[in-house]
Structure 1
Amino acid sequence: MCSLDNHDHGASDAAYKQLFVRNHQWRTATSASQRDFYEFRDTSGGQKPSILWIGCSDSRVPDNVITGSSLGTIFTHRNIANQFLEGDNNAAAVLEFAVTRLRVQHIVVAGHTYCGGVETSYNLAYPANRASREVNPDFEVNDERNADEPMPQVVAWLQPLVSVALDPMWQPMAAAAPEPN
């Protein structure tokens, strides 16, 4: 850990310093047995989560907090707008490790309301503003769709997950996956 005395970034450093203050308060208030768990002293058997959570990096939606889950029950991969894109080696490694080594039984791709990453991606893909109409007068957004049909942007977002599920390269991993209960 670095020394707080060596940092002088003014007011912007307050949140950083508070991390250390709150950590000290937590250690003081937490019993020794709880600290053993949190500090991985009592986890020689390794982690055994049953869920892989692919969630958003948004600091307001930490998976353990919003699900009320205990530590060790969820293996987490977070990124902006909870994406899983073809060619993303990091996400692929998380998925492979979760399924083949941890043998998770469930994979959750969790979105949340007011996601800035999803909004930004959607707006880049569907720029339904006046300027785009001036550049392309034929441009229009059609929000009329059959309620039984998925939204095109959702289909486009899910397509990489479907591709991974059907890709023969992932078949050995699928064979190693535990049977669903």
Structure 2
Amino acid sequence: QIDQYKTQLLQYENMLKNTVAPAAYVWDQATTTMNKLRSSIDTLNYYKTTLGGVDSYLSKFKDTAAYRDSPCYSISGCTDAEWAAMKDSERLGSESQKKATDALFKGLDEQQNAMQSDASQLESLQKAAQTATGQMEAISYANQLASHQANQLLQIRGLLISQQNAIATRNQALADREAKEAASAAQLRSGKFVKSSAKSW
């Protein structure tokens, strides 16, 4: 009978251990981290605000066919307004490349600053998880570690978006410049050859 009581007491003790939560939770500040990172890398929002949307931004850039049909690439020439629009697309291409590159570096700087605190937080979680005395405490630490990993993935995703933004912006500006060059070259080659009349001396 005494052995039964001992077993029951051990079971109760185990049950108590398994229901005790950690004394402190070390949750990542995912929203704060992402807001800081996003404010560093979010150039798309700038163009949505200043130009009225992504489509408005994209409409500033044309393909070869559109430039070939433009009066600016014909003998008749274009109006001052049309010429200004052409120059505006060049200015916007240069500006957007600069903003995207700046955003990429700001995002990298933000991440380098956050790496030390993230590493310290991870180390604290790992140490705390090793001292867990019951299932509930162990599960809680496992959840906090999973949260930390999810936060890291969000930050990686933010940096990848920033990198894609820089690449896409550069490609957009290059494609626009190439389209202008192709339209200009096509216009130069579109003249008709008229044979001169023969002259005798």
* TM-score normalized by the length of structure 2: 0.23
Choose 1 or 2 for highest CA Rg: 2
Bigger strand share: 1
* TM-score normalized by the length of structure 1: 0.24
Higher relative contact order (CA 8 A, sep 6+): 2
